[in-house]
Amino acid sequence: MTAHAPEKIFLSDYTPPNWLIEDVGLNFHLSPTATRVTSTIRFVPNPAAASRDFFLHGEQLKLISASIDGTSVSPKVTEQGLTCDVPDHAFTWVAEVEINPEANTSLSGLYMSGGMYCTQCEAEGFRRITFYPDRPDVMAPFKVRIEGSDPVLLSNGNPTASGEGWAEWNDPWPKPAYLFALVAGDLIARDDTFTTMSGKNVDLKLWVRPGDEGKTAFGMDALKAAMAWDERTYGREYDLDIFQIVAVSDFNMGAMENKGLNIFNTSAVLASSDTSTDANFERIEAIIAHEYFHNWTGNRITCRDWFQLSLKEGLTVYRDQQFSADFRSASVRRIEDVISLRGRQFREDNGPLAHQVQPDSFVEINNFYTATIYEKGAELIGMMKTLVGHDEYYKALDLYFTRHDGEAATIEDWVRVFEDSTGRDLTQFRRWYKQAGTPRLTVTDDFKDGIYTLNFEQKTLPTPGQEEKLPQHIPIAVGLLGANGDEVLATQILEMTEDKQSFTFEGLTSKPTPSILRHFSAPVILDRDSTPEERAFLLTHDTDAFNKWEAGRALAKDVLISMITGRSAPTQDYLGAITAMLRDDRLDPAFRALAIRLPGQDDLAQTLADGGVTPDPLAIYQAHQTLRQQMAEHLQDLLPRLSAEMDVADAYKPDAEQAGKRALGLELLMLANRLDGGAAATAQYARADNMTLRMGALGCLLEAGKGDEELADFRARFEGDALVMDKWFAMQVAHAAPEKAAEIASTLTQDSDFNWKNPNRFRAVFGALMMNQAGFHDETGKGYALFADWLIKLDPVNAQITARMSSGFETWKRWDADRQALMQAALKRIMATENLSRDTQEMVGRILN
Ligand code: ARG
Ligand code: ZN
């Protein structure tokens, strides 16, 4: 057990930096075990600061020498950094340090991945490279010189000079240290160019390891599309002569928006039809856009401190969601985004890890790169847009960019821009940033004398550290449908601001059917007593695609929850409605695919728990199985014709149209698989000429307890391809029968290809184990024990990933007493580990609370 709890940092303690920086020069002399970094930094006193005390962050650095204005000094060095006596006027600081990239397994700072040097500095990795005020409100232009034996030497900004064994880069845009990047290695680039809206030429380079060149075309196209979209939509132009992306195999997150030099997890950029699924393509396109969009929302305007993280992340997620919606079906994208929001953010917001979009305190900032900061943050932007309207939104954004360009801004600055630009009072809306937890909205209705009334009540349950909750300002998009299915009231935005509020609609001849929270207009849980008939009616008639889907999902949930709790289930209503929906070929196949996918098992567990029923993971699993079987039998006659319609004859394209057909085709295959003993899946695997169909078929076979031959074939085909091998690992665990999941995962950890220090591989196995809800929660506790063993093993190597993945235990209080005890024991065992990282201590501590 560690001696004392790690120290907390508070937003309220913010003070401006004592010293600002005019410019920075960095000189790297690369060596895997002993890289030398010389920094030359011009410090100037900050007029806004009260003190001239001098502190530089620095961790795991060997200080070789330091000087001020040419005179050598002897600073006092601790584990966190150094202090030094300095003049009370501007001065030049020069320091040389030595670091060991090869020994850096945390993948934060400068480290090695497969023989290449790369960096990850967000949030606080730069302090592992040199001594520096490593806080985002200190911004400076950087000049970098790299000396090393690798053929490719890259850093931020524009290239200025290079020769055999060295290269120099100049980034003229002042930036915080977290946006610094360096890459060196044996790499090859896909080259392209982009002409900006003012006619400037930008060189584009997508760097990969030799052998991966064939997987760069899609990423490059996505980049160009993102650049053009940001000009078109937000009027934002790129601002350097070159924009580069580098693919790296060992990376903690998806990607990083370093100025002019984005670094990507290979999984977030490399794409080919043989090795990537349609979902991979979609994710890659979104992440490339996301990182590119950060150039304005994140880099040109950055965050004053890490409590403002959602300022850049919420907004940038919102922007990448808009981008994807424009390039693919907007409603399908919205449904997918909401599925992910509910699955990750609602889960977080309704458990021990719930926190504000703008937290008040943290121990380790890396633990706050969460679905709440990102996805809920994006929902808040979306709500603001709904409240002020399209034109006012873009007007406000223009003001944001002009007012704060070049600054390290706050969430308060952002909200004030909206108030100043639109004249709206957003006092209550600010609460969304400061109040954790998902509001629950209950609604009833009545109809009298031609007046229809909707009565809403909102309630947010207490979250850790926040007992009292106040009413939120909620935009509720509502439409009304008449008895024949026609819309009698087009979408209107109701603004709810009170605990309880009613809205009336006049001039109606009969009681309408309401379609509430269209397009999911606010991140709330909507509770409404409804009948299977009404749900089926909305599934058929709603003109809002999101609510049409939502109606089908609600009906499926009613069926599953009834099955699990032993009540009579409206199965026939569901099967009838779903059959009609599937037959409706005016509907986008992608939509139909989402509409027949059952609500996830985690979602069902949460719903049961919310309703006061202790969920049984096995019963949930079995209800899924039963309903799928009934669907398969009910749809038996329709399946062959519909499946044939989903065949794509043209050459593979990862576009929305083809992907939608394949998605529906795979949903149908999963059903057919229950009736034909795996025949169709076996055939599909054999003839598959792309990864989507191949993996889909293999998944079906594994689900049926078959597919040994195909699994071996899959490995033989892709043995050398790490990203595909991640799939090979993940699939076996994801599709394992509940009682076998832990053993299969355990066996896979013994595999010669289980490179557990690689985050993608670790996540492949253990991410999949957590997704296999009934498997992870096997009553023996073997899933928990295995997972805890591996978290304990990983913590000293990569605390960030360990802490992040420990959230697999966040639902522990939801389950029965036996499972709770087992999970709690696993958590306590982790907590009792000697020298447990701050990261993991904070997370496990909060989970146990
Ligand atoms: N800013 C990056 C993004 O949103 C995420 C990097 C976070 N990295 C970390 N170690 N916390 O794309
Ligand atoms: Zn981001």
Separation CA 516–CA 511 (nearest Å): 15
pLDDT in tens, 275-299: 999 999 999 999 999 999 999 999 9
**Domain layout of the chain by residue ranges:** 19-172, 303-433, 440-528, 529-627, 636-700
Q: Determine the atom of ligand 1 nearest the C-alpha atom of 108.
A: 10
pLDDT average, residue stretch 206-234: 98
Q: Comparing 19-172 with 303-433, is the CATH topology the same? A: no
**Ligand closest to the CA atom of residue 287:** 1
Nearest residue by C-alpha to atom 11 in ligand 1? 366
Give residue 389 CA to ligand 1 midpoint distance, Å: 30
pLDDT score recorded for residue 4? 63
Among the listed residues 291, 667, 710, 842, the single catalytic one is 291
Q: In a mutational test of the pocket of ligand 1, which residue from 104, 245, 253, 303 has the highest number of ligand atoms less than 8 Å from its CB? A: 253
Q: Determine the atom of ligand 1 nearest the C-alpha atom of 316.
A: 4
Q: Determine the atom of ligand 1 nearest the C-alpha atom of 125.
A: 10
**Ligand closest to the CA atom of residue 313:** 2
291 is catalytic: yes
SS3 of 487, please? Answer: strand
Q: Ligand 1: residues whose CB is within 6 Å?
A: 120, 122-123, 252-257, 290-291, 313, 366, 369, 800
Is it the case that residue 411 has pLDDT exceeding 70?
A: yes
Q: Distance between the two ends of the chain, CA-based, in angstroms?
A: 16
Give residue 314 CA to ligand 2 midpoint distance, Å: 8
- Torsional class of 207: left (φ above 0), alpha (ψ -120 to 50), beta (otherwise): beta
Nearest residue by C-alpha to atom 1 in ligand 1? 256
Domain 19-172 class, CATH top level: mainly beta
Six-digit token string for 119 = 């960096």
Nearest residue by C-alpha to atom 2 in ligand 1? 256
Q: In a mutational test of the pocket of ligand 1, which residue from 369, 374, 375, 838 has the highest number of ligand atoms less than 8 Å from its CB? A: 369
Separation CA 60–CA 71 (nearest Å): 25
Q: Determine the atom of ligand 1 nearest the C-alpha atom of 374.
A: 4
Q: In a mutational test of the pocket of ligand 1, which residue from 256, 258, 296, 320 has the highest number of ligand atoms less than 8 Å from its CB? A: 256
Q: pLDDT category, 2, cuts 50, 70, 90?
A: very low
Strands 302-303 and 408-409: parallel
pLDDT in tens, 233-262: 999 999 999 999 999 999 999 999 999 999
Q: Determine the atom of ligand 1 nearest the C-alpha atom of 365.
A: 11
Give residue 77 CA to ligand 1 midpoint distance, Å: 28
Helices 759-771 + 782-794 axis angle, to 10: 160
Query: Concatenated DSSP letters for 605-669?
Result: HHHHHHTT----HHHHHHHHHHHHHHHHHHHTTTHHHHHHHT---SPP--SHHHHHHHHHHHHHH
Give residue 772 CA to ligand 2 midpoint distance, Å: 28
pLDDT in tens, 585-644: 999 999 999 999 999 999 999 999 999 999 999 999 999 999 999 999 999 999 999 999
pLDDT average, residue stretch 351-368: 98
Nearest residue by C-alpha to atom 7 in ligand 1? 122
pLDDT score recorded for residue 44? 98
Q: What is the pTM of this model?
A: 0.98
Separation CA 828–CA 224 (nearest Å): 49
**Ligand closest to the CA atom of residue 256:** 1
Indicate the fold that domain 440-528 takes in CATH. Immunoglobulin-like (2.60.40)
Q: Determine the atom of ligand 1 nearest the C-alpha atom of 252.
A: 10
**Ligand closest to the CA atom of residue 317:** 2
Which one, of 448, 469, 467, 450, lies nearest residue 458 by Cα?
469
**Ligand closest to the CA atom of residue 369:** 1
Give residue 692 CA to ligand 2 midpoint distance, Å: 27
Nearest residue by C-alpha to atom 6 in ligand 1? 256
Give residue 366 CA to ligand 2 midpoint distance, Å: 13
Nearest residue by C-alpha to atom 3 in ligand 1? 256
Q: How far is CA 650 from CA 389, 540, 690, in A?
A: 41, 31, 12
Q: In a mutational test of the pocket of ligand 1, which residue from 122, 179, 318 has the highest number of ligand atoms less than 8 Å from its CB? A: 122
Q: Determine the atom of ligand 1 nearest the C-alpha atom of 254.
A: 12
Nearest residue by C-alpha to atom 5 in ligand 1? 256
DSSP state of 649: -
Q: Determine the atom of ligand 1 nearest the C-alpha atom of 313.
A: 4
Give residue 601 CA to ligand 1 midpoint distance, Å: 29
Strands 76-77 and 81-83: antiparallel
Measured at the CA of 278, the angle between CA 649 and CA 726, to 5 degrees, comes to 125
Is it the case that residue 3 has pLDDT exceeding 80?
A: no
- Whole-number mean pLDDT of the chain? 98
Could you list which residues have their CB under 5 Å from ion ligand 2?
A: 313, 316
pLDDT in tens, 746-801: 999 999 999 999 999 999 999 999 999 999 999 999 999 999 999 999 999 999 99
Give residue 778 CA to ligand 2 midpoint distance, Å: 35
pLDDT score recorded for residue 158? 98
Query: Concatenated DSSP letters for 367-383?
Result: GG-SHIIIIIHHHHHHH
Give residue 180 CA to ligand 2 midpoint distance, Å: 15
pLDDT score recorded for residue 483? 96
pLDDT average, residue stretch 5-29: 96
CATH superfamily of the 303-433 domain: Neutral Protease Domain 2 (1.10.390.10)
Separation CA 32–CA 249 (nearest Å): 17
DSSP state of 179: G
Q: What percent of the chain has pLDDT over 90?
A: 99
Q: pLDDT category, 6, cuts 50, 70, 90?
A: confident
Q: What percent of the chain has pLDDT over 70?
A: 100
| Structural contact between residues 718 and 728, judged by C-beta atoms closer than 8 angstroms | yes
Is it the case that residue 685 has pLDDT exceeding 50?
A: yes
pLDDT average, residue stretch 427-433: 98
pLDDT in tens, 797-818: 999 999 999 999 999 999 999 9
